[in-house]
Amino acid sequence: MSQSELTREVARRVFASEFNDATYSFKESDDERAPNYALLPTGDRANRVFIVGTLTETEDVGEDSEYWRGRVVDPTGTFFVYAGQYQPEAAATLRDTEPPAYVSVVGKPRTYETEDGTVNVSVRPESIAVVDEGTRDRWVAETAERTLERIEEFQEWEAEQEAPESGSTAPTNEYAQMARERYDSPVENYRRDVIQALEQLEVDDAETA
């Protein structure tokens, strides 16, 4: 195993609604090779993400060379995935896959500020694979679980800030602190997205049955 594989960050499971709100990125050190993180609104950092959804559309948006854009939809919204000459395998998968198809994507969050100041968030894929419905369903269930864990930790930290117990030391959660400072959206919104995703899963399962 190479050094880069040993130090590779865990890929966070995150729904599209939260991912698209993760418009603030940062580094933990001044080293130019330090990893870049997206700040998740539920109070965590993500250098890499793992997503599964329906590839609904692909388009070559490149001018001088191939640069593929894919729309990947989960029960809460849409991820935009971009792959070009530096991600040849991912670009080839986008080129060769006929939508609609279930796909899993591991990649890095990227932010882009438009001329009007809007920050768009996308995924630069390390790998894309066509998967089956069962893989998508498991991803939704597990991503719901991980998202709820982040929300619970955030709200525990928040409650402690507002009403610290006497003699207790308030839990430190630097990413929750950053998220509260940077984002307006209450974390409770993401709990609603989790419920929506799980309900959609039940509807899909019922229709399949």
Q: Who wins on pLDDT, 160 or 138?
A: 138
Which structural domain range is residue 186 located in? 1-209
pLDDT of residue 168: 54
Q: What is the CATH number of the domain that holds 135?
A: 2.40.50.140
Per this entry, what is the length of the chain? Answer: 209
Q: Does position 1 have pLDDT exceeding 70, yes or no?
A: no
Summarize the confidence of residues 45-70 as an average pLDDT: 96
Q: Where are the beta strands (DSSP E) in the chain?
A: 11-13, 25-27, 36-40, 44-46, 48-60, 68-74, 77-83, 101-113, 119-130
Q: How many domains in the chain?
A: 1
Tens digits of per-residue pLDDT, 66-101? 999 999 999 999 999 999 999 999 999 999 999 999
For the chain, the first-to-last Cα distance in angstroms comes to 43
